[in-house]
Amino acid sequence: MSLIFSIVESPSHPDFSPLYRELGLEEIRSTSMRKAIAALKSHQPDWVVAEFFYGYGNNYAGVNVSNLDVFLASARKYAPQSRIIVMVDKAEAVHVDKLAALFPVHATLVHPVGREAMRRAIESLRADD
């Protein structure tokens, strides 16, 4: 069974747990990047679904592009095979390319993300295997 990390940091993150089960994916759900990074040390996900939040004025003085940078750097080490799916607000979608220049982003879905859009993203990435 493939493993999917679902990183839920906001109320706008849809609950796709039933879809993941239907697709034969075992889900590990984290409510913060810190918890997701800790989980990487003992579980190597095949899939990661997380929301992208652009770091307009973050505490890292512009070093990090978004909330996902540190997690994706860790995933590069612990789970380099992971396929990354990001969900993003329409207003911030233009900034995903900055993240994709640093880390692999396999699919970008713009909110509102429905069940069928997520299904298509996962199935199209499976077809690329």
Proportion of the chain above pLDDT 70, given as a percent = 94
Identity at 73, one-letter amino acid code: A
pLDDT tens for 76-119 read 999 999 999 999 999 999 999 999 999 999 999 999 999 999 99
Return the structure tokens found at 16: 């796709």
At 12, give phi and psi (nearest 5°): -80, -5
Please list, in sequence order, all residues whose beta carbon lies within 8 angstroms of the beta carbon of residue 34, skipping any fewer than 6 positions away: none
Q: What is the mean pLDDT of residues 27-36?
A: 96
Q: Which of the four CATH numbers 3.20.20.100, 3.10.180.10, 3.90.960.10, 3.40.50.2300 does domain 2-127 have?
A: 3.40.50.2300
At 9, give phi and psi (nearest 5°): -110, -5
Q: Tell me what pLDDT residue 59 has.
A: 56
Q: Tell me what pLDDT residue 61 has.
A: 46
* E strand residue ranges, 13-82: 25-30, 47-52
Q: Where are the domains of the chain?
A: 2-127
* CA–CA dist 108, 86 (Å, integer): 5
Identity at 50, one-letter amino acid code: A
Q: Tell me what pLDDT residue 58 has.
A: 58
* CA–CA dist 42, 45 (Å, integer): 10
Is residue 60 packed enough to be buried (19+ CB in 10 Å), middle (13-18) or exposed (0-12)?
A: exposed
* CA–CA dist 2, 75 (Å, integer): 16
Q: What is the mean pLDDT of residues 33-50?
A: 96
Q: What is the pTM of this model?
A: 0.93
